[in-house]
């Protein structure tokens, strides 16, 4: 039986309806990885694509066995697709990269050399964002500022999910069972030795962004709510403020009644204060609800995703003695997922 070398570098590429870019992505990725000269695998995670992504990936796998495919049972979203890829990756270093070539594969070799120097996480920081809308650039910037203000972790400004992770870090991430998987927060939270390389973010090679405005908003909420409980404190702050205001108003009203004999009357005040308090209460309830909803989601303990099929993970690897056993364990741990 033909034995494939155990990959040293695994590259995970989540794809959702990416048929327009896959051939070019594969060409450039393979070229840059071959340049590095270490055994590698490319894992495409097909996140429930509805276009020709599945067919193209099957063809690509057929022509190069170093390219493997994990096909999820439906669209689970970018962050979950990455998590799925992490479970399947076998390399000593794992690189996360988008399918659309916005993150240039050529940067991987720089990441690998930093990794060789002892960094456990090497993230790419975007120097400029050519070809992205001003809206996206501005919202992204404010989002990172906000999340760093609100949470106790520091997420490097202007870094996406394009990064290299050492096996230690991958195992740490896999040990985190949470369902709201805000990867860049999680990577920063686990610690280890982190370094960065700067790169220019290119425009999308083809196709449209798969992040709708709604997906982006939900992603931002996940980021903030899974790493900070500051919004919960808003209730106390607003409560204290409105109580102080009410107290002050009461003193003024009583004072003016006692001194001038002009007792404050007027339904306007009543309506205003009801509106003010009602609004504050609803807001705080909503925020509580967000956390509660998330806690509910976590409590259901559902698997993060289901796999419909995999291509290329059955062949035994070279250095069978140790890797095979690991793989068996890995597979049985996953068996539940694959149902």
Which residues make up the interface to Mg ion (CB under 5 A)? 98, 100, 102
**What span, in angstroms and rounded, lies between the C-alpha atoms of 298 and 254?**
51
**What span, in angstroms and rounded, lies between the C-alpha atoms of 252 and 243?**
14
**Residue 98 or 166: which CB sits closer to Mg ion?**
98
CB of 242 to Mg ion, least distance (A): 44
CA 113 to chain centre: 25
Q: Are residues 14 and 327 in contact, defined by beta-carbon separation less than 8 angstroms?
A: no
Report the run of H or E that residue 295 belongs to, with start and end.
Answer: helix 267-299
**Residue 119 or 226: which CB sits closer to ligand UDP?**
226
CB of 78 to ligand UDP, least distance (A): 4
Q: Is 99 exposed, middle or buried (0-12, 13-18, 19+ CB in 10 A)?
A: buried
**Residue 135 or 192: which CB sits closer to Mg ion?**
135
From the list Mg ion, ligand UDP, none, which binds 180 (C-beta under 5 to 8 Å, kind-based)?
none
**What span, in angstroms and rounded, lies between the C-alpha atoms of 107 and 162?**
10
**Residue 15 or 43: which CB sits closer to ligand UDP?**
15
CB of 109 to ligand UDP, least distance (A): 20
**Residue 195 or 207: which CB sits closer to ligand UDP?**
207
CB of 181 to ligand UDP, least distance (A): 12
CB of 105 to ligand UDP, least distance (A): 13
**What is the C-alpha R_g of the chain?**
25
**Residue 79 or 102: which CB sits closer to Mg ion?**
102
SS3 18: coil
From the list Mg ion, ligand UDP, none, which binds 225 (C-beta under 5 to 8 Å, kind-based)?
none
Q: Which of 291, 279, 288 is nearest to 241 (CA)?
A: 279
**What span, in angstroms and rounded, lies between the C-alpha atoms of 104 and 125?**
12
From the list ligand UDP, Mg ion, none, which binds 99 (C-beta under 5 to 8 Å, kind-based)?
ligand UDP
Cα–Cα distance list, 312 to 61, 62, 69, 176 (Å):
7, 9, 7, 26
**Residue 22 or 284: which CB sits closer to ligand UDP?**
22
CB of 169 to ligand UDP, least distance (A): 20
From the list Mg ion, ligand UDP, none, which binds 109 (C-beta under 5 to 8 Å, kind-based)?
none
From the list Mg ion, ligand UDP, none, which binds 120 (C-beta under 5 to 8 Å, kind-based)?
none
**Residue 159 or 317: which CB sits closer to ligand UDP?**
159
Q: Is 137 exposed, middle or buried (0-12, 13-18, 19+ CB in 10 A)?
A: middle
Q: Answer positive or negative: Cα dihedral of 67, 70, 71, 77.
A: negative
CB of 126 to ligand UDP, least distance (A): 11
Residues at the contact surface with ligand UDP, assessed by CB under 6 A: 14-16, 18, 47, 75, 77-78, 81, 98-100, 102, 209-211
From the list ligand UDP, Mg ion, none, which binds 14 (C-beta under 5 to 8 Å, kind-based)?
ligand UDP
From the list Mg ion, ligand UDP, none, which binds 78 (C-beta under 5 to 8 Å, kind-based)?
ligand UDP
From the list Mg ion, ligand UDP, none, which binds 69 (C-beta under 5 to 8 Å, kind-based)?
none
**What span, in angstroms and rounded, lies between the C-alpha atoms of 265 and 122?**
65
CB of 53 to ligand UDP, least distance (A): 9
CB of 91 to ligand UDP, least distance (A): 19
**What span, in angstroms and rounded, lies between the C-alpha atoms of 314 and 309?**
11
**What span, in angstroms and rounded, lies between the C-alpha atoms of 131 and 39?**
33
**Residue 113 or 209: which CB sits closer to ligand UDP?**
209
Q: Are residues 19 and 56 in contact, defined by beta-carbon separation less than 8 angstroms?
A: yes
């Amino acid at each position: 039986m033909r034995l494939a070398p155990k990959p040293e570098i695994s590259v995970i590429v989540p794809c959702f309806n990416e048929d327009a870019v896959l051939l070019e992505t594969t060409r450039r990725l393979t070229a840059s990885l071959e340049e590095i000269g270490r055994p590698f695998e490319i894992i495409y995670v097909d996140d429930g694509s509805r276009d020709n992504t599945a067919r193209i990936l099957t063809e690509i796998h057929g022509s190069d066995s170093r390219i493997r495919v994990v096909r999820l049972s439906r669209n689970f979203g970018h962050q979950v697709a990455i998590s799925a890829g992490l479970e399947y990756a076998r390399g000593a270093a794992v690189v996360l990269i988008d399918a659309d070539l916005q993150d240039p594969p050529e940067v991987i070799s720089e990441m690998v050399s930093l990794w060789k120097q002892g960094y456990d996480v090497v993230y790419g920081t975007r120097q400029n964002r050519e070809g992205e809308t001003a809206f996206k650039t501005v919202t992204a910037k404010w989002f990172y500022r906000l999340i760093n203000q609100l949470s106790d972790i520091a997420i490097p400004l202007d870094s996406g999910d394009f990064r290299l992770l050492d096996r230690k870090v991958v195992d740490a991430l896999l040990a985190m069972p949470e369902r709201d998987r805000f990867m860049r927060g999680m990577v920063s939270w686990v610690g280890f030795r982190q370094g960065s390389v700067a790169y220019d973010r290119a425009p999308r090679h083809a196709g449209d962004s798969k992040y709708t405005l709604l997906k982006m908003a939900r992603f931002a909420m996940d980021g903030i709510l899974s790493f900070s409980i500051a919004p919960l404190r808003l209730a106390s702050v607003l409560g204290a403020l409105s109580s102080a205001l009410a107290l002050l108003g009461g003193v003024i009203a009583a004072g003016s009644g006692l001194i001038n004999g002009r007792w404050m009357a007027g339904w306007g005040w009543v309506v205003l204060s009801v509106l003010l308090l009602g609004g504050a209460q609803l807001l705080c309830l909503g925020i509580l609800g967000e956390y509660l909803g998330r806690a509910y989601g976590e409590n259901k303990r559902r698997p993060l995703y289901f796999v419909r099929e995999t291509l290329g993970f059955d062949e035994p690897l070279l250095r069978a003695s140790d890797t095979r056993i690991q793989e068996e364990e890995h597979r049985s741990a996953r068996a539940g997922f694959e149902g």
